[in-house]
């Protein structure tokens, strides 16, 4: 009996590689599309040697509509794209090219292949400085080009659903963390920053006073939520995805242990992110399983993974965020 097929764009990246794991465990043949520029070499946690997992090294912007990668696929999980706030302010054209036009190419491939369901990885940054807990009907207010590009990619996905009847759901991720989280790139990913500082015995650089909270959601729970959004009769919906239990940056430092220094708060960043997860729990039967403490403990078990991450201090952070302060102040 033939195994069902799923396509994972960005499947060698952080969340995408965990999505591959979930699909393999459920008996799928998985086709990964990834250009391998996401901060690592191939990152499939051993799956690269699995005959049920194939990897097509390709930029989604080069996909042809009749791409055989999508042929016979039951599900498409679309994670491919570029992130980070500061570079999106500096190079907005590239962000819209990849996150919007690249998404359109994925959608066209899925449409012409009659894929059973596309699940789009949306970003909670589309809500801006949102009221909390944040519901799916919250007003949209992106504060920087990355946020806008991810929102427009989501709108394209829903437009393909509206016009072409392509079955689409969107999962709007709040603050994903866990094993294989990216270690390189522009300053901003708190786990990569803090873990490298812990390894070096350097103080943790806390933005503001550290009382700001984030709705951290463990990556395995994220992948399970995406599978639930695909394996359902529900279609044409956005689901906010968090743990529903925001944690402060100070709490993270308490778990890690060590000295701390403080750097200026960044304009345009919310004090709190908090997903209202009532819709995803009631509609899809999904719920988070991994507590914040357990998730951080799981990551610390492999802390050596962050040995090659950049080691940040207040001076280098100030330099890296000059563009942010120049364009985002008073916004």
What is the set of active-site residues? 146
Strands 247-248 and 213-214: antiparallel
Beta-bridge partner residues of 123: 173
Contact 76, 7 (CB under 8 A): yes
Q: How far apart are CA 139 and CA 130, in angstroms?
A: 8
Contact 23, 227 (CB under 8 A): yes
- CB-based contacts of 301-306 (< 8 A; 24+ apart in sequence): 302/179, 303/195, 303/198, 303/199, 304/199, 305/179, 305/180, 305/183, 305/195, 306/183, 306/192, 306/195, 306/196, 306/199
Q: How far apart are CA 120 and CA 249, in angstroms?
A: 28
Q: How far apart are CA 83 and CA 69, in angstroms?
A: 24
Give the three-class secondary structure for 149: helix
């Amino acid at each position: 009996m033939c195994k069902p097929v799923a396509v994972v764009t960005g499947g060698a990246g952080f969340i995408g590689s965990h999505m591959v794991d979930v699909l393999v465990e459920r008996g799928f043949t998985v086709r990964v599309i990834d250009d391998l520029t996401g901060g690592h070499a191939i990152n499939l946690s051993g799956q690269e040697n699995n005959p049920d997992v194939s990897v097509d090294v390709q930029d989604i912007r080069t996909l042809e509509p009749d791409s055989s990668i999508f042929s016979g696929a039951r599900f498409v999980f679309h994670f491919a794209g570029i992130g980070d706030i500061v570079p999106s302010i500096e190079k907005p054209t590239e962000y819209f090219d990849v996150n919007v036009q690249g998404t359109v190419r994925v959608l066209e491939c899925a449409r012409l292949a009659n894929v059973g369901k596309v699940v789009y990885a949306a970003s909670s940054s589309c809500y801006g400085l949102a009221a909390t807990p944040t519901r799916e009907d919250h007003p949209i207010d992106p504060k920087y080009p990355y946020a806008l590009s991810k929102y427009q990619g989501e709108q394209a996905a829903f437009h393909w659903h509206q016009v072409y009847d392509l079955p689409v759901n969107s999962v709007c991720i709040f603050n994903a963390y866990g094993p294989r989280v990216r270690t390189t790139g522009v300053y901003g990913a708190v786990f990569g920053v803090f873990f490298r500082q812990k390894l070096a015995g350097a103080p943790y650089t806390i933005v503001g006073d550290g009382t700001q909270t984030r709705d951290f959601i463990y990556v395995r729970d994220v992948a399970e939520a995406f599978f639930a959004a695909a394996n359902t009769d529900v279609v044409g919906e956005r689901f906010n995805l968090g743990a529903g239990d925001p944690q402060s940056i100070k709490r993270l430092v308490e778990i890690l242990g060590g000295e701390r220094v403080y750097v200026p708060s960044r304009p345009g960043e919310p004090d709190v992110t908090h997903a209202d997860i009532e819709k995803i729990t009631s509609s899809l039967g999904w719920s988070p399983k991994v507590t914040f403490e357990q998730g951080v403990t799981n990551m610390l078990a492999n802390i050596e993974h962050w040995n090659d991450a950049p080691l940040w201090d207040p001076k280098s952070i100030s330099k890296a965020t000059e563009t942010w302060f120049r364009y985002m102040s008073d916004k």
